[in-house]
């Protein structure tokens, strides 16, 4: 990681700043960050960003030696693969010392690490519902999810 390049990118690019600030709030390091998830996290943090802006920020992080942006192909999502610990990236960008809280190396599986597949379902002619489900969804999980959806309507049966 080239700390001076990273600091410059952080100072000059509001999206790099938003990504690093978001990473600083996390408790664990990440091995990779999916583009669509980062867009969602930043939207939840109050940022209205275009996909191209986040890709450009990932490219700036790549130029700073933090990892590599991988364009999604053949069903794989676009993502940033980190070559350094994300908590160190966020700290270095902000000129601080990283606080190692609970690294991914301890073997924990994070929700962020689960591969998801996007499914679209036409509920009504004018309404399409999109779900992201694990690629390794089990029958038991599907049954639980189906029972949950069946319990949602408030109307009385028939």
Domains of the chain: 3-105 (1.10.10.10), 116-150 (no CATH)
Q: Which residue has the higher pLDDT, 78 or 103?
A: 78
For residue 136, how far is the Cα from the chain centroid?
A: 19
- How much is the pLDDT for 59? 92
Give residue-wise pLDDT tens across range 42-55: 888 888 889 899 99
Give residue-wise pLDDT tens across range 106-137: 444 455 556 778 888 888 998 888 888 888 88
pLDDT at residue 96 greater than cutoff 80? no
The tokens for 4 are 């001076």
- How much is the pLDDT for 157? 59
Q: Give the predicted TM-score (pTM) of the model.
A: 0.59
Q: Quick one: which of 78, 82, 90, 97 has its CA closest to 36? A: 78
pLDDT at residue 100 greater than cutoff 70? no
Give residue-wise pLDDT tens across range 17-41: 898 888 888 878 888 888 988 898 8
In the chain, % of residues over pLDDT 90: 9
SS3 119: strand
Between CA 90 and CA 97 the distance in angstroms is 9
Between CA 43 and CA 37 the distance in angstroms is 10
- How much is the pLDDT for 53? 92
């Amino acid at each position: 990681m080239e700390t001076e390049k990273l600091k410059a990118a952080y100072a000059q690019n509001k999206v790099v700043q938003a990504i690093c600030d978001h990473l600083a709030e996390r408790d664990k390091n990440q091995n990779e960050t999916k583009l669509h998830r980062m867009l969602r996290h930043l939207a939840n943090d109050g940022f209205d960003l275009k996909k191209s802006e986040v890709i450009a920020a990932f490219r700036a992080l790549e130029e700073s030696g933090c990892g590599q942006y991988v364009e999604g192909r053949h069903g794989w999502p676009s993502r940033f693969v980190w070559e350094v610990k994300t908590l160190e990236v966020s700290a270095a960008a902000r000129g601080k010392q990283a606080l190692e809280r609970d690294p991914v190396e301890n073997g924990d599986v994070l929700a962020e690490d689960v591969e998801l597949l996007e499914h679209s379902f036409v509920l009504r002619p004018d309404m399409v519902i999109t779900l992201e489900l694990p690629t390794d969804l089990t029958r038991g999980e599907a049954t639980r999810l189906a029972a949950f959806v069946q319990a949602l309507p408030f109307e009385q049966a028939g």
